Structure 1
Amino acid sequence: MMSNAVSNIGMVRDKNEDSFYVSGCDDPYKLYIVADGMGGHNAGEIASSLAVDAAKQFFDKYYVSLQKTDDMIEKFIREAIANSNTRVLNESQLHIDESGMGTTMTLLLIENNKFYIGHIGDSRAYLIRNNTIEQITEDHSLVTQMVKEGKLSIAEAKYHPLKNIITRAIGVDMDINIDVYIRQAVQGDIVILCTDGLSNMVTDAEILEEYTKCDIVTASNNLVECSNARGGYDNITIVAVKC
């Protein structure tokens, strides 16, 4: 198994509000996370960093003793992300200059030869398999909701002025709605976690092309360069894992 992470400030922002985590060889789990501090809110970079750190600490404390069934892992992922939510909320209440901060989170755990993905917000998880790409996660955004309601086409949604408004996030409410997806892993699969600084600037087909013709390090770097060449309007973070 190979993994790689790249995070880039982009061409416009004055700070990087994205955070990520990639498991090392000493970890008792295979855990990968991306988080995007909410634009327009205070201290987005603090929110994303706190959320990632809280999730890792939760895994460090409880994962070894967890019963590794699908149901228990799904419950555990929900609890880990909820713990991150509590951590961000508590911090924002303690410091007035951090009030209202929030973050997305998309988390990948590999266990039992399966991908377990926890998700809230509009960062994404993609699966590349057999020269095809699938967006596993659903964006929790206003325009995605409008597409589902038939008010917008997919093409209209991509360039809609409200596309950056998200409907679910860590740090906004005490009770949060978390999606969990489970997929069987197949040798050669590539899972990509990314923030919307990538997905807003390149197409799914372009992501597929890069990862099918290049190694994951080169592909990720090429996609960052492409996003920046097209304006780099947001921070760009990619975590890629190849089985």
Structure 2
Amino acid sequence: MACTSQFRWASAARTDTGRVREINEDACLDQPQRGRWAVADGMGGHDVGDLASQLVVETLGQLPEQAGIKHCIAEARTRLQDANRQLRDEASRRQVQRIGTTVVVLLACDRFCGYLWAGDSRIYLLRQGQLRQLTRDHSQVEALRQSGYLTEEEARHHPAHNIITRAVGATDQLELDEDAIEVADGDVFLLCSDGLSNELTDEEIQQTLASVDCLHAPDELVDIALSRGGRDNITAVVVQAEDPQATDKTLLNPSP
């Protein structure tokens, strides 16, 4: 039995090469009808980074329907392990050290969203005007920040901020983190590559998601990153949940 989300989903995506790079090694998935979204940030250069990110996005786009959020997450994990093996084999065939990509994927089922990630691509949640980061970067700098060796501001500007510790294709056995969250009416999710999160503060992301319609928010966010120099590929996928069963908000506080 296929899993059906109890929410109506609206989403939009944009990916941009930026102003410095010649090739866009980012890729994204935007399937609101199926409740699937993803961002992948490829690495490796020499025309292989984009191969990795495209493979991961195509793999996730072909996920079969599952019954229940746990099964959705498990199937995504299995398919990403398959993609990991393909990238390891391709690196061996091309005689390069690695062909890899970050990944962050959001899956909607029933009243829940599940998510998995490897690397420093992120998912943010805006709920009732407040932003929080759902994922934690798999990076050397984030490990130092969590251990108390770096402040938030020091981590943001650290010269090694782009060195990640996990990626699809990096090792024979892919390490993924996963979690799930119960969705509330009006929730807004942002999936993005570090080309966006490195250029905008959390406060700027919060303000943009709170003030711009989700269908136009990716353009707004990417344009801001480009205006700051666009030093990397930039990708944003913005997703909003609407509960058809929610009580009309105009009735919550009736006039006396």
Q: Which residue of 1 aligns with 2:23?
A: 15
SS in 2 for 1:180: strand
Alignment of 1:183-198 (within 5 A): 183-198=181-196
Residue 24 of structure 1 and its aligned partner are, at CA, apart by 5.7
Q: C-alpha separation between the residues in 2 aligned to 1:81 and 1:227? A: 29
Task: Specify the code of the residue in structure 1 equivalent to 2:140.
Answer: L
Residue 101 of structure 1 and its aligned partner are, at CA, apart by 1.5
Q: Would the aligned equivalents of 1:125 and 1:194 in 2 still touch at CA under 8 Å?
A: yes
Q: C-alpha separation between the residues in 2 aligned to 1:225 and 1:37? A: 21
Q: C-alpha separation between the residues in 2 aligned to 1:87 and 1:100? A: 11
Q: C-alpha separation between the residues in 2 aligned to 1:67 and 1:113? A: 12
Q: C-alpha separation between the residues in 1 aligned to 2:109 and 2:70? A: 13
Alignment of 1:108-127 (within 5 A): 108-127=106-125
Q: C-alpha separation between the residues in 2 aligned to 1:176 and 1:224? A: 30
Q: Deviations over 1:146-167 (max 9, x none)?
A: 1122221111000000000000
Q: Would the aligned equivalents of 2:104 and 2:191 in 1 still touch at CA under 8 Å?
A: yes
Alignment counterpart, residue 49 of structure 1, candidates 51, 54, 61: 54
Q: Percent identity?
A: 36
Alignment counterpart, residue 164 of structure 1, candidates 162, 165, 168: 162
Q: Which residue of 1 aligns with 2:39?
A: 34
Q: C-alpha separation between the residues in 2 aligned to 1:24 and 1:112? A: 14
Q: Which residue of 2 aligns with 1:137?
A: 135
Q: Would the aligned equivalents of 2:10 and 2:215 in 1 still touch at CA under 8 Å?
A: no
The TM-score, its normalising length taken from structure 2, stands at 0.86
Which structure dedicates a bigger proportion of its chain to helix? 1
The TM-score, its normalising length taken from structure 1, stands at 0.90
Alignment of 1:19-98 (within 5 A): 19-23=27-31, 25=33, 29-38=34-43, 43-57=48-62, 59=63, 63-64=64-65, 66-68=66-68, 70-96=69-95
Task: Specify the code of the residue in structure 2 equivalent to 1:119.
Answer: W
Greater mean alpha carbon deviation, residues 143-152 or residues 114-123: 143-152
Alignment of 1:194-209 (within 5 A): 194-209=192-207
Query: Kindly tell me: are residues 11 and 134 of structure 1, through their superposed partners in 2, closer, same or farther at Cα, counting changes over 3 Å?
Result: same
Query: Kindly tell me: are residues 24 and 131 of structure 1, through their superposed partners in 2, closer, same or farther at Cα, counting changes over 3 Å?
Result: closer
Task: Specify the code of the residue in structure 1 equivalent to 2:186.
Answer: G
Query: Kindly tell me: are residues 140 and 40 of structure 1, through their superposed partners in 2, closer, same or farther at Cα, counting changes over 3 Å?
Result: farther
Instruction: Confirm or deny that 1:128 pairs with 2:126.
Output: yes
Q: Would the aligned equivalents of 1:189 and 1:242 in 2 still touch at CA under 8 Å?
A: yes
Residue 94 of structure 1 and its aligned partner are, at CA, apart by 2.2
Find the structure with the greater CA-based Rg: 2
Query: Kindly tell me: are residues 165 and 41 of structure 1, through their superposed partners in 2, closer, same or farther at Cα, counting changes over 3 Å?
Result: farther
Query: Kindly tell me: are residues 153 and 9 of structure 1, through their superposed partners in 2, closer, same or farther at Cα, counting changes over 3 Å?
Result: same
Aligned length: 233
SS in 2 for 1:134: strand
Task: Specify the code of the residue in structure 1 equivalent to 2:53.
Answer: S
Greater mean alpha carbon deviation, residues 79-88 or residues 187-196: 79-88
Q: C-alpha separation between the residues in 2 aligned to 1:186 and 1:212? A: 15
Query: Kindly tell me: are residues 172 and 41 of structure 1, through their superposed partners in 2, closer, same or farther at Cα, counting changes over 3 Å?
Result: farther
Root-mean-square deviation (CA, aligned residues, Å) is 1.6
Q: Would the aligned equivalents of 2:19 and 2:230 in 1 still touch at CA under 8 Å?
A: yes
Q: Deviations over 1:31-79 (max 9, x none)?
A: 111000126676111111111112323x1xxx33x332x4333322321
